[in-house]
């Protein structure tokens, strides 16, 4: 059985990994040209990125049969640039956001906040940088130059993009939630359910800078949820690991996947830093309430459905 699974995985993954390697080599080759032909290189890198992300999305949803319940996508506009914020549970979160991007024609335009350390990884890190991914350390002072680079592309060059961040800056765990709960109580903040408290500095900078970009029309607030079938019923917020997402067939028999999105016109958001921070907190409280409804449905044996 194990040998059969290994052979099956190799059948689908080796071609995709080869494609990924070739894509990163091409992206690295574009780097010297990006200073002379920035728009052309951005467009080319977006097409390359789309082919890579589409390939792995097909492995997840078609080959391994992940059934993603999508809620709220009817409010999104085709080919619309947006700031995307989401709760963060596991590496596999990107599949759920990519499912939204696929439906709106923005898969190749996704630009994710990633860890700065990846920049030193040969080919992979260089490829991410060449695509225009913001590679950050989560230290706002240190990240200012990198953020300005990303903002210039959106504001001055008017590049279409989804600028995506996991606003809690780390993955959710029960232990981290207890720490966040203690911090919220000490600072008189509301405690969101099933999430961590959102970090506002990066979000505020994105809203205040990208409001100047005429193509940037909205903030998409994304809620991600999982459930895994266990001996005693469904276990809430228990996603597959990244390896399981690639190697386990018939994911729909063991896991549930859910993604909800709310669209907020960027022009309707407040402008001051204090009001934006409060706006973000309000969204996270709503997100926690939505996640609690999903948890209760599991307890009652009810299916997850699009709202």
Residue 4 banded pLDDT, cuts 50, 70, 90: low
Overall average pLDDT of the 102-126 stretch: 80
What confidence score (pLDDT) does residue 257 get?
Answer: 97
Model-wide pTM > 0.85: yes
DSSP E strands in 101-253: the ranges are 110-112, 114-115, 135-136, 162-166, 216-230, 233-236
The rounded distance, in Å, linking the Cα atoms of 226 and 210 is 31
Q: What is the pLDDT of residues 32-43, one digit of tens each?
A: 888 899 899 899
Q: What is the pLDDT of residues 240-260, one digit of tens each?
A: 999 899 888 899 999 999 999
Q: Is the pLDDT at 101 greater than 70, yes or no?
A: yes
What confidence score (pLDDT) does residue 252 get?
Answer: 94
Q: What is the pLDDT of residues 261-286, one digit of tens each?
A: 999 999 999 999 999 999 999 999 99
What confidence score (pLDDT) does residue 147 get?
Answer: 84
| Percentage above 70 pLDDT, the chain | 92
Q: What is the pLDDT of residues 69-84, one digit of tens each?
A: 999 999 999 999 999 9
DSSP string, 19-42: HHHHHHHHHHHHHHHHTT-HHHHH
The rounded distance, in Å, linking the Cα atoms of 139 and 100 is 29
Bridge partners of residue 117, in order along the sequence: none
Dihedral angle of Cα 93, 95, 98, 100, to the nearest 10 degrees: -80
What confidence score (pLDDT) does residue 29 get?
Answer: 85
Overall average pLDDT of the 292-300 stretch: 94
Overall average pLDDT of the 285-294 stretch: 96
The rounded distance, in Å, linking the Cα atoms of 290 and 194 is 10
Burial of 213 (0-12, 13-18, 19+ CB in 10 A): buried
Among 16-25, 76-85, 192-201, the minimum mean pLDDT is found in 16-25
Overall average pLDDT of the 203-215 stretch: 93
DSSP E strands in the chain: the ranges are 68-71, 81-86, 110-112, 114-115, 135-136, 162-166, 216-230, 233-236, 255-265
Burial of 66 (0-12, 13-18, 19+ CB in 10 A): buried
Residue 258, phi then psi, degrees to nearest 5: -140, 135
Helix (H) or strand (E) holding 175: helix 174-186
Q: What is the pLDDT of residues 144-165, one digit of tens each?
A: 887 888 888 899 999 999 999 9
Q: Is the pLDDT at 126 greater than 70, yes or no?
A: no
Q: Say which residues have a Cβ less than 8 Å from residue 88's Cβ, sequence separation at least 6.
A: 166, 167, 168, 169, 170, 171, 172, 196, 224
Residue 196 banded pLDDT, cuts 50, 70, 90: very high
Q: Is the pLDDT at 213 greater than 90, yes or no?
A: yes
């Amino acid at each position: 059985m194990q040998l059969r699974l290994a052979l099956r995985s190799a059948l689908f993954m080796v071609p995709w990994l080869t494609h990924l390697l070739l894509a990163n080599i091409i992206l690295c080759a574009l780097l010297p040209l990006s200073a002379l032909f920035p728009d052309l290189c951005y467009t080319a890198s977006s097409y390359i990125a789309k082919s890579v992300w589409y390939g792995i999305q097909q492995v997840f949803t078609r080959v391994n049969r992940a059934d993603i319940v999508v809620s709220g996508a009817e409010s999104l506009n085709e080919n619309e640039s947006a700031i995307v914020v989401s709760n963060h549970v596991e590496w596999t979160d990107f599949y759920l956001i990519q499912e939204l991007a696929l439906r709106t024609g923005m898969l190749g335009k996704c630009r994710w906040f990633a860890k700065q350390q990846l920049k030193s990884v040969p080919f992979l890190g260089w490829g991410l940088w060449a695509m225009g991914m913001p590679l950050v350390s989560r230290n706002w002072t240190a990240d200012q130059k990198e953020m300005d680079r990303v903002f210039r592309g959106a504001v001055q060059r008017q590049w279409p993009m989804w600028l995506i961040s996991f606003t809690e800056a780390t993955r959710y765990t029960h232990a981290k939630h207890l720490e966040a709960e203690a911090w919220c109580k000490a600072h008189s903040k509301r405690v969101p359910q099933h999430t961590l408290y959102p970090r506002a500095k990066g979000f505020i900078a994105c809203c205040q800078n990208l409001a100047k970009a005429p193509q940037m029309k909205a903030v998409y607030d994304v809620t991600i949820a999982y459930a895994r079938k266990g001996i005693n019923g469904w276990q809430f917020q228990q996603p597959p690991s990244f390896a399981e997402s690639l190697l386990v067939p018939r994911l729909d028999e063991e896991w549930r996947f859910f993604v909800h999105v709310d669209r907020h016109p960027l022009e309707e958001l407040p402008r001051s830093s204090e009001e934006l921070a409060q706006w973000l907190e309000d969204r996270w409280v709503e997100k926690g309430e939505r996640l609690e409804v999903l948890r209760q449905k599991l307890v009652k044996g009810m299916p997850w459905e699009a709202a």
